[in-house]
Structure 1
Amino acid sequence: MTFMTSTPLMASPPPRPAPRPPRLRSGGLLPSGRSGLRLRRSSSQVLLPLLTLQACRRSVPAPRRGLEALSLDTKPRAQAQEQQLAAFRAWLKEGNAAVQSRGVRLQRSPLGGLGLFAQKNFPQGAVILEVPFEKCLEVDAHHFDLDDATVLQPILARAAEEYDVDAFVEVEAQKAVLALCQRLLLERQQGASSKFAEYLAVIPDPSELHPLQLRWPKRLSEQSALLSRMHHTVLERDNACMEALQPFEQVWKRRCWALNAVWTRAVHLVGAEGEERLSLVPLMDFMNHWTPTRSTSETWSCFYEIASDHLAVRAERAISKGEELTLLYGEFSDAQLLCNYGICPEMPCRNAFDEAAVSIGPYVLSSPAGEEAAAPDGALVAARAACLARHGWALQQKLVFRVPQELRPSGGDRVGPAHEEGRGLLALARLLSLETAEEVAQLEDEIFWMDLPGGSAPDLPLQVEKRAWQRVLEWLQEV
C-alpha cells in the first residue's frame, strides 16, 4: 500500500517566541524557526514549470503496491488499507504509553496522501498531540557532528562544488540515519510479532516522483543549475546509503522504503540533558509541509516541543475546525521539496522560498571594474585569479550562486556561521570592482572576511560598493 506523505529529518525547536522545528542542513543543525518570515522574490529560472512536471507525472508508471500488509496481504487492497489504518489507530491507544490526541483525525489530504486534521478549534499554544517516546522508533544520534566541516571551506569553494549544500548531509549524520534504517528493517523482518507492526504497515513508500523511484526525464533536471546539482547529490547520497544497507536487507524495494522513511519522516531530538536521538514519531509524521507564499500572512499551524517522556505538538496559532495541521519542514524551495521529498509544486512561482541561480564563468577575470573603467591589465587579471583561487575557485569551473541567499551583505538576521549565510556573489562583485592589483592585495581580507577566523563585515569605499552592486544587477538581469 502507498500512503504518500512526508515529515522531514529535523531537530528539536528553539525556545519560544520562535518554537518551530529546525531542519538538518549540510554538516550541522540550523534552526529554521524565526521571529518572522522573510518572503523572497522567486525566479522562473529555478522553478519547475508546471507543464514539465505534469508531463513527468504522466510518464510515471501506475502506482505500485507499497509495503506488503504484515498480516493482511491476502485482503483486497482497499480493504487491507482501511484495516491497517484501523489497526494503527487502535495501536496508538494501546497500553500505558497511549498517544494522547485531542480532537484530530487522520484522513486524505489535498496536499497528497494522508494528513492530520483538526476536529475542533484550537487556541494558540494548545496541546494537540502527546506521543510517548515508548511509541517511537529511535536510535542514539550521537553520530551527529555539530562541527560543520564545510565551515572551513573558502566561500567560493561552495559555489564551485557539484552538490548543493541544502541537499547534502554529512557522513557523520548519515551514520545515525543508517542506524535507524537498520532498526526499521529489523522490526519489519519480525513481521506481525514486532511491537511496531501496526505502525510499520502504514509507513508509505517514497513518492512516485522521488529520485529513487523515478528516472527523471533529462529536461526536468535541466530546468536549472541548482536543480540539476541537487538531483545529482540526492541520488549519490541515497545510492551510497542503499549500498550500505544491503547486508541488512537484500530486497531493494524494502531498503528504499526504510531509507525514505528515515530521510523524510525522522526528527532529531535533543533532550534536556543533551542526549540526542533520531526518532520516528507515529502520527506526528503524517503532518504535511506548509509552503509559504508571497501573498499571504498565514503561517504553519503547529510546532513541537520535547518533554521528559513524550513529544508534544502544539498550536503555533489559532486553528479552525476542519483545518489540516501542518509543520514548516524548513525554508525549502520547490526544487528542494521535489528532490528530497518527492513533493511536486501545485503551482509555479507560488513558493516564497524559491531560489534562482546565477552562473559565473572565468570570463569575469577580464571584465572592466566598472562602466567607465578600461579593460584590466595583465597584472590586475593575475591578481584577481590568484585571489579567487585562494578563496576556493578552481578557475576552469563555473560558479553557481543561489540568490537571494548569496546577496546578504553582512549576515542579516540568519543564525549560524558566516558560511551558512552565503554572500559569495557579492564578494566576487566587490573584488571585480577594484581597479588595480594593489587594491586587490590591500582589500582582499576585507572583501573575503567570512573566510577569516573572527572576520567582520567590510567598510569598503563607496565607489567600490556602487560598482559592485551595479555588476550584481547586471548578473541578475541575465537570470
Structure 2
Amino acid sequence: MASAAVKGLAGTRQRQQVAAPGWAPRHRRCRCRLAAQAGLLDLLRGAGSTEIATDAEGEELKAWLIERGLPPPKLAAAATPGSGRGLVAAQPIGKGESLLSIPQQLVLTPAAALEQSCLRPLLEEQPLPAWSVLALWLAEQRAAGSAGGWWPYVRLLPERTGCVLEWSEEEVEWLCGSQLHSDALEIRAAAEASWAEMQAVLAAAKAQGRAPAHGAFGRAQLQWAFAVLLSRLVRLAGLGDQEALLPWADLLNHDCAAASFLDWSATEAAVVLRAERRYRAGEQLLISYGQKTSGELLLSYGFCPDLGSNPHDGCRLLLELAPGDAARNWKAAALRQHGLAASQLFPLRMAAAPFELVHYTAFSAAVVGSRQEAEQLARRLFEEGDIPPALQTAALEAVVAACKAALAAYPRSFDGDRAELDRLQDQASAAAASGGAGDGSADAGQQRRRHALQAVVYERQVLSRTVFVLQQELKDVQRLARRQG
C-alpha cells in the first residue's frame, strides 16, 4: 500500500493513546453515570459487588490464553448492559493494581502474523505493509475455522463492526460538507489500495498452490479483515509505535472520560493495563480509545457516545496559506519548523480554540519580504504567542470566514437535520423505555443515520459558536483600535 493509504487506514485508530487536548467544552455509558448508579462511596472504597453475567466464549478464550502464557488477569469476560461483550472486575481491585498483562508471544504484531502465514515465503519476497500482512493472516485464520491456530480468538471477532468500510455509498454521503466525509473516502480508498496491492502476491500463491482451498483470500473476506483491523488494531507507543491485535484485551469498551489505556511495558515485556481507580467486583473496566470526536469514533468503531457525554467532541477546520502568496514557500518552511503545514486541520471545540488557530491565520495574512522575516514572525506567533496588533483584525476575520465557508458546505439545512435527529432520538428512547434492546436491536441503517446526523449537527453548532465568539472578539479589537487611533 502506498504510504498515504497506510496513513488513511492504519492511522485512524489509536485506542490506547491520548492525543494532545484540543478545546475543552461502543462505550455507550459514561463512567460518571456508573458512579451514580453504584454509589460513590462504594466506588471510592472499592467495596460491594455486582453479579457477573460471565460470557462463556470470552472466558474460554481467557483460559486458552492462560495455557499459552497469559498471567491470570483480575478481569472476566461478561455480557455488559448496553455494551455487548466487555471485561469486568472479577474481584475488588485497588488503584494502581495490574489488571492484565499480555506477554509478547500473545501480541499479534505484523511480524507474528508473517511468521504464521501460509504466504510467508511470498511475503518475504514481495513485502507488503503491516496492515496488509495482518489482514491476510486474519482472513486465513477465519477461513480455517476450528482447525486454525487462533480459532478461540478469531471466532469472537464480529461479523460486522459498524465502521465506515461497511457503509453504503449513500450512507457515506450523509457526511457531505463535513471533514468526516473526506476522512471516510480516504479510509475506503486505502482499503481499495490494500486490496489492489495484494493481487500480485495472491496470484503467485494460487499459481504455487499456497493459497488455502477454502477461499480465504476473496474480496469479501479481506474486506471483513480490514474492518476488524480498523476497529480493533492498537498502536503501542512503547513498542516503537507498532500496531498489533491484542486478543481478549480488545474486548475492553470505550469511555470518553477514562484515564486507563493499553501500552507496551519494556520492563515486563508485555502489554499492560493498570487500574486508574478502585473497582468493585462485577464493575465494567473501560479504557480510552483516544481523545476522538464522536464522528471519528463513528467512522472507526461504528458508534457515537450519547450527546453531551464526549468532552472531546467537535470538528476540524481546514486553514491554508493563500496559493497566490508570493511568500508562500518561505511561510511554509517557517511553519514546518513549528510542526505546522501549509494546509492544516485545526480542532474546534465548543468552549475554546486551539492556541495556534488565530496565530496561523495571522501568519497567513502577513506580508513578509524574506525567509528570515517569515521565520521571525513565526517565532513571535507560535513560540511567544504574540499577535502583532496590525494582524489581529485580519486574523480574526479569516477564521470567521473559514467557519462560515465550512457551514455553507453542508448540503442540507441545519433545521431539517436537527428535526430528523430529534425524531430518531425520540424513537430510540421510546424503544428503550418499552423494554426493547435499544440500539442493539434497532435497524442498523436507522441507527447509523442517527449517529451521522448527531455528528454533523454538533459540528455545525461548534462552527456557529466559534463564529459568534470570534465576532465578539473582533468587535473588541476594532473598538480598541479606534480608541488608540
TM-score (norm 2): 0.56
Q: How does 1:73-152 map to 2 (within 5 A)?
A: 84-85=57-58, 87-95=60-68, 97-102=69-74, 104-110=75-81, 112-140=83-111
- Once residues 141 and 268 of structure 1 are traced to their aligned partners in structure 2, the CA distance between those partners, rounded to angstroms, is 15
- The 1:268–1:424 alpha-carbon spacing in structure 2 relative to 1, beyond 3 Å, is same
2:375 to 439, 445, 448: 445
1:426 to 342, 353, 359: 359
**1:292-340 residue CA offsets vs partner (Å, 9 max, x unmatched):** 3xxxxxx334544425453332112223333321221212111211112
2:140 to 182, 186, 197: 186
Determine which structure has the larger helix proportion and give its number.
2
Offset of residue 424 of structure 1: 6.2
Aligned-residue Cα RMSD (Å) equals 4.4
User: Which residue of structure 2 aligns with residue 279 of structure 1?
Assistant: 244
Contact (CA 8 Å) 2:359, 2:382: kept in 1 or not? no
Offset of residue 285 of structure 1: 0.8
User: Which residue of structure 2 aligns with residue 262 of structure 1?
Assistant: 229
User: Which residue of structure 2 aligns with residue 353 of structure 1?
Assistant: 312
User: Which residue of structure 2 aligns with residue 225 of structure 1?
Assistant: 178
**1:44-99 residue CA offsets vs partner (Å, 9 max, x unmatched):** xxxxxxxxxxxxxxxxxxxxxxxxxxxxxxxxxxxxxx77446434423335x244
- The 1:230–1:196 alpha-carbon spacing in structure 2 relative to 1, beyond 3 Å, is same
SS of residue in 1 equivalent to 2:304: coil
Identity of aligned residues (%): 17
- The 1:361–1:87 alpha-carbon spacing in structure 2 relative to 1, beyond 3 Å, is closer
**Does structure 1 residue 212 correspond to structure 2 residue 166?**
yes
Offset of residue 178 of structure 1: 1.5
- Once residues 150 and 179 of structure 2 are traced to their aligned partners in structure 1, the CA distance between those partners, rounded to angstroms, is 39
- The 1:440–1:254 alpha-carbon spacing in structure 2 relative to 1, beyond 3 Å, is same
User: Which residue of structure 2 aligns with residue 76 of structure 1?
Assistant: none
SS of residue in 2 equivalent to 1:140: helix
Contact (CA 8 Å) 1:301, 1:327: kept in 2 or not? yes
User: Which residue of structure 2 aligns with residue 467 of structure 1?
Assistant: 393
**1:192-246 residue CA offsets vs partner (Å, 9 max, x unmatched):** 2322111111112342353334434355212x43111111111111222233345
Offset of residue 125 of structure 1: 0.8
**Does structure 1 residue 40 correspond to structure 2 residue 20?**
no
User: Which residue of structure 2 aligns with residue 164 of structure 1?
Assistant: none
- Once residues 73 and 397 of structure 2 are traced to their aligned partners in structure 1, the CA distance between those partners, rounded to angstroms, is 55
SS of residue in 2 equivalent to 1:211: helix
Show structure 1 runs of 5+ residues with no match.
1-22, 43-81, 144-172, 293-298, 366-381, 410-422
User: Which residue of structure 1 aligns with residue 197 of structure 2?
Assistant: 244
- Once residues 474 and 310 of structure 1 are traced to their aligned partners in structure 2, the CA distance between those partners, rounded to angstroms, is 48
Give, as a single letter, the amino acid of the residue that structure 1 aligns with 2:95.
Q
User: Which residue of structure 2 aligns with residue 296 of structure 1?
Assistant: none
Give, as a single letter, the amino acid of the residue that structure 2 aligns with 1:344.
C
Offset of residue 350 of structure 1: 3.5
Offset of residue 101 of structure 1: 1.5
Offset of residue 258 of structure 1: 2.0
- Once residues 426 and 461 of structure 1 are traced to their aligned partners in structure 2, the CA distance between those partners, rounded to angstroms, is 7
Give, as a single letter, the amino acid of the residue that structure 1 aligns with 2:61.
F
SS of residue in 2 equivalent to 1:313: strand
- Once residues 256 and 206 of structure 1 are traced to their aligned partners in structure 2, the CA distance between those partners, rounded to angstroms, is 11
User: Which residue of structure 2 aligns with residue 289 of structure 1?
Assistant: 254
**1:391-435 residue CA offsets vs partner (Å, 9 max, x unmatched):** 569xxxx967433499644xxxxxxxxxxxxx3663223442x4x
**1:365-395 residue CA offsets vs partner (Å, 9 max, x unmatched):** 7xxxxxxxxxxxxxxxx9x6223466569xx
- Once residues 16 and 387 of structure 2 are traced to their aligned partners in structure 1, the CA distance between those partners, rounded to angstroms, is 35
Offset of residue 345 of structure 1: 3.4
- Once residues 440 and 447 of structure 1 are traced to their aligned partners in structure 2, the CA distance between those partners, rounded to angstroms, is 11
- Once residues 332 and 94 of structure 2 are traced to their aligned partners in structure 1, the CA distance between those partners, rounded to angstroms, is 51
- Once residues 200 and 142 of structure 1 are traced to their aligned partners in structure 2, the CA distance between those partners, rounded to angstroms, is 13
SS of residue in 2 equivalent to 1:282: coil
User: Which residue of structure 1 aligns with residue 130 of structure 2?
Assistant: 176
User: Which residue of structure 1 aligns with residue 276 of structure 2?
Assistant: 316
Q: How does 1:318-337 map to 2 (within 5 A)?
A: 318-337=278-297
Contact (CA 8 Å) 1:106, 1:115: kept in 2 or not? yes
Show structure 2 runs of 5+ residues with no match.
1-8, 26-54, 115-126, 203-210, 334-341, 405-462, 464-485
Offset of residue 187 of structure 1: 3.0
**1:246-280 residue CA offsets vs partner (Å, 9 max, x unmatched):** 52643233212322233332334477xx7786432
- The 1:130–1:357 alpha-carbon spacing in structure 2 relative to 1, beyond 3 Å, is closer
Contact (CA 8 Å) 1:427, 1:447: kept in 2 or not? no
Contact (CA 8 Å) 1:446, 1:458: kept in 2 or not? no
SS of residue in 2 equivalent to 1:130: strand
User: Which residue of structure 2 aligns with residue 73 of structure 1?
Assistant: none
Contact (CA 8 Å) 2:347, 2:354: kept in 1 or not? no
1:385 to 322, 325, 334: 325
**Does structure 1 residue 344 correspond to structure 2 residue 319?**
no
Contact (CA 8 Å) 2:361, 2:398: kept in 1 or not? no
